[in-house]
Chain A
Amino acid sequence: MKHKPRLPQGLLTTGSITLTVLVLFATLPGYASIYTVILLAAIFMYIVLTLSWSIFSGPTGYISLASAAFLGTGIYTSAIFGKMLPLPVVVGIGGLASFCLALLAGALTLRLKGIYFSMFTFGLVELIKHLMLWFEINLTGTRGRFVIVVDHITVYYVMLVLLALTILTAYAIRRSKFGLALQSIGEQEEAAAHTGVNVTLVKVSAFAISAFFVGATGAIMATRWTYIDPYIAFNYLFSFMPVLMAIFGGMGQLYGPIMGATVFAYLEEILITRFPYFYMLFFGIILIVSVLYLPNGLAGLIQGWQKRVWGARYVHP
């Protein structure tokens, strides 16, 4: 609806490429090394974090730093229910718990604008971390917990499913009425409200939907950590990484955050093993360079090439 003259061949190609990639990934554990499977699961995690962050923050421009709170909620769901319930249920509960947390936090704070909203979401991570700490020390008498161990292949498949669901959701929202409402809020919130958009409802539901995927990811990835405590589960890195990866990839297109997260996650893997002490420094440099020279991220760069190669005809602004 936004880009009306869409080419049917274009859609067909996109569809068949997606299907091929999906089949490739689904059969991958059959022939790839276990190292590749583990790395890919980590990359999937970063893509889900980044893409779900951009579902809400991309169109609305409300910069959320709550990802770590949602991820941590998922991680704790797994630590608490992992031994009692089947894995898919645990993952579902992780998602729902984060969804509910986002509903509550969103209803309280989405009237805050700009930097105030970001600060609150940042505070939310700290708040829940300390609540959890208090709860553990005073009520359970421990500080950390052991998480059930799940084999790498299962983690991989659960992450693959979550990734597919996140991409599907992000795509569907972009093309829907709901997506138009989100965009109108980001463009001019006051006008959106006076044009009939229920801004609070739209913002809170988008925030909660994006939190769902983050929580579910936390629940499955927690099994990788084996032992967790509130400091491990509610790590600020997971609030900032999605923002950085989305900026790096570019938010104008769906594939922007996907590329950004893939490149970042892969770089992290390489850098952390070869330069364990300097890898954050490398990230810093990459980020500064991309902000300075790639204002629209990798996606913007690719669109620029497309324009030069095919002319401006097929490139949507």
Chain B
Amino acid sequence: MSILEAEGITKHFGGLTALSGIGFHVDQGEILGLIGPNGAGKTTLFGLISAALPPDRGVIRFKGEVITGLKPHQVCRRGVARTFQSVKVFPNMSVLANVMVGSFFGRPNTVSAAAAEGESVELLEFVGLSAFAAIPARDLTLANQKMLEVARALATAPELLLLDELMAGLNPTEIGLAMDLVTRIRDRGITVFMIEHVMKAIMCVCERIMVLHHGEKIAEGTPKEIAASKTVVEVYLGESAYA
């Protein structure tokens, strides 16, 4: 059963077509990977799902209900949470307070201060930040700020989590921890849709992968199928040939 469905998603920025008529679905409980060269439109697609941007055309359905046209906080309260490619923590607030914002405001129901704090403490432990609860978020390393964004997103009790390049800028050890974290999130019953450039991570963690190129979906399938796909290999070889 699919938790998220999209049809005919199109987005222009002036003359640039960032996405042209994309259709896809995310199955309940899976980890779906989204890859593609720089500027392919991956972040834009997350922006459309999370209502940061309105689509020019197309509809997005979450659990069968149309979510296009809602405000970001409404999409969040319905159960879609996200992290950001360029980290966006609340820098001068404590790590714990960052997460509590999620528990307080990201849910359809109201949560007591004690419950919010209890859950936030638990989530900090889940992402491995317990030791830093009281310090301001700006003092965390980049890797830890990314973990904090995950905890804050999880605090909104999502059913679908959008991760935008969680592993970018992390060292190999941190990537290993992040991969493990993604699997543990899925084991909590949360569907994961992740953008990633780290191929090892995406191939190991994802059950299914979708490939974007110049705003179009050029492939979709299991990691094995994607690795064997001629089109995908050409796109990536083409990219590295330029680099």
Q: With A1-B100, A192-B101, A193-B71 in contact, is A187–B76 under 8 Å at CB?
A: no
Instruction: Find out whether the CB atom of A190 lies under 8 angstroms from the CB atom of B88.
Output: yes
On chain B, the number of residues with a Cβ less than 8 Å from chain A's Cβ atoms is: 33
Residues on A lying within 8 angstroms of B by beta carbon are 1-2, 177, 180-181, 183-184, 187-188, 190-200, 317
Instruction: Find out whether the CB atom of A184 lies under 8 angstroms from the CB atom of B93.
Output: yes
Which B residues lie within 8 Å of A317 (CB)?
136
**Can you list 22 A-B pairs, Cβ within 8 angstroms, ordered by A?**
A2-B93, A2-B94, A180-B97, A180-B100, A181-B101, A181-B105, A184-B90, A188-B89, A188-B91, A192-B90, A193-B76, A194-B50, A194-B73, A194-B82, A195-B101, A195-B105, A195-B153, A195-B155, A195-B156, A196-B73, A196-B104, A196-B106
Which B residues lie within 8 Å of A187 (CB)?
90-93
Residue in B71, B77, B90 whose beta carbon sits within 8 Å of that of A191 in the complex: B90
- Once the chains are docked, how many angstroms separate the CA of A187 from the CA of B50? 20
Nearest A residue to B76 via CB reads: A196
Instruction: Find out whether the CB atom of A191 lies under 8 angstroms from the CB atom of B106.
Output: no
Instruction: Find out whether the CB atom of B73 lies under 8 angstroms from the CB atom of A199.
Output: yes
Q: Is B42 an interface residue (CB 8 A)?
A: no
Q: With A193-B71, A194-B82 in contact, is A183–B93 under 8 Å at CB?
A: yes
| Residue from A1, A188, A194, A198 with most neighbouring chain B CB atoms (10 Å) | A194
Contact with A along B55-87 (1 / 0, CB 8 A): 000000000000000011100110001101000
Instruction: Find out whether the CB atom of B52 lies under 8 angstroms from the CB atom of A194.
Output: yes
Contact with A along B111-151 (1 / 0, CB 8 A): 00100010000000000000000001000000000000100
Which A residues lie within 8 Å of B97 (CB)?
1-2, 180
Instruction: Find out whether the CB atom of B88 lies under 8 angstroms from the CB atom of A197.
Output: no
Instruction: Find out whether the CB atom of B88 lies under 8 angstroms from the CB atom of A188.
Output: yes
Task: Quote the shortest CB–CB distance from A174 to chain B (angstroms).
Answer: 13
Instruction: Find out whether the CB atom of A190 lies under 8 angstroms from the CB atom of B52.
Output: yes
Which A residues lie within 8 Å of B82 (CB)?
194
Which A residues lie within 8 Å of B89 (CB)?
188, 191
Which B residues lie within 8 Å of A1 (CB)?
97, 100, 113, 117
Q: Is B223 an interface residue (CB 8 A)?
A: no
- Once the chains are docked, how many angstroms separate the CA of A296 from the CA of B12? 44
Task: Quote the shortest CB–CB distance from B165 to chain A (angstroms).
Answer: 16
Q: Is B33 an interface residue (CB 8 A)?
A: no
Q: With A193-B71, A198-B73 in contact, is A188–B105 under 8 Å at CB?
A: no
- Once the chains are docked, how many angstroms separate the CA of A191 from the CA of B106? 11
Task: Quote the shortest CB–CB distance from B147 to chain A (angstroms).
Answer: 15
Which A residues lie within 8 Å of B71 (CB)?
193, 198, 200
Which A residues lie within 8 Å of B84 (CB)?
190-191
Which B residues lie within 8 Å of A194 (CB)?
50, 52, 72-73, 76, 81-82
Which A residues lie within 8 Å of B101 (CB)?
180-181, 184, 192, 195-197
Which B residues lie within 8 Å of A199 (CB)?
73
- Once the chains are docked, how many angstroms separate the CA of A193 from the CA of B90? 12
Q: Is B215 an interface residue (CB 8 A)?
A: no
Q: Is B41 an interface residue (CB 8 A)?
A: no
- Once the chains are docked, how many angstroms separate the CA of A188 from the CA of B97? 13
Residue in B73, B92, B107, B155 whose beta carbon sits within 8 Å of that of A193 in the complex: B73
Residue in B72, B90, B155 whose beta carbon sits within 8 Å of that of A188 in the complex: B90
Instruction: Find out whether the CB atom of B107 lies under 8 angstroms from the CB atom of A196.
Output: yes
- Once the chains are docked, how many angstroms separate the CA of A196 from the CA of B107? 7
Q: Is B152 an interface residue (CB 8 A)?
A: yes
Q: Is B36 an interface residue (CB 8 A)?
A: no
What 12 additional pairs, Cβ within 8 angstroms, besides A184-B93, A187-B92?
A177-B104, A187-B90, A187-B93, A188-B91, A191-B88, A193-B76, A194-B76, A195-B156, A196-B107, A197-B101, A198-B71, A199-B73
Nearest A residue to B72 via CB reads: A193
Task: Quote the shortest CB–CB distance from B136 to chain A (angstroms).
Answer: 7
Nearest A residue to B149 via CB reads: A191
- Once the chains are docked, how many angstroms separate the CA of A268 from the CA of B134? 42
Which B residues lie within 8 Å of A195 (CB)?
73, 76, 81, 101-102, 105-106, 152-153, 155-156
Which A residues lie within 8 Å of B100 (CB)?
1, 180
- Once the chains are docked, how many angstroms separate the CA of A200 from the CA of B71? 10
- Once the chains are docked, how many angstroms separate the CA of A187 from the CA of B105? 16
- Once the chains are docked, how many angstroms separate the CA of A180 from the CA of B120? 15
Instruction: Find out whether the CB atom of A196 lies under 8 angstroms from the CB atom of B88.
Output: no
Task: Quote the shortest CB–CB distance from B220 to chain A (angstroms).
Answer: 26
- Once the chains are docked, how many angstroms separate the CA of A161 from the CA of B153? 43
- Once the chains are docked, how many angstroms separate the CA of A231 from the CA of B149? 50
Task: Quote the shortest CB–CB distance from A179 to chain B (angstroms).
Answer: 11
Nearest A residue to B133 via CB reads: A4
Q: With A1-B113, A1-B117, A190-B52 in contact, is A196–B105 under 8 Å at CB?
A: yes
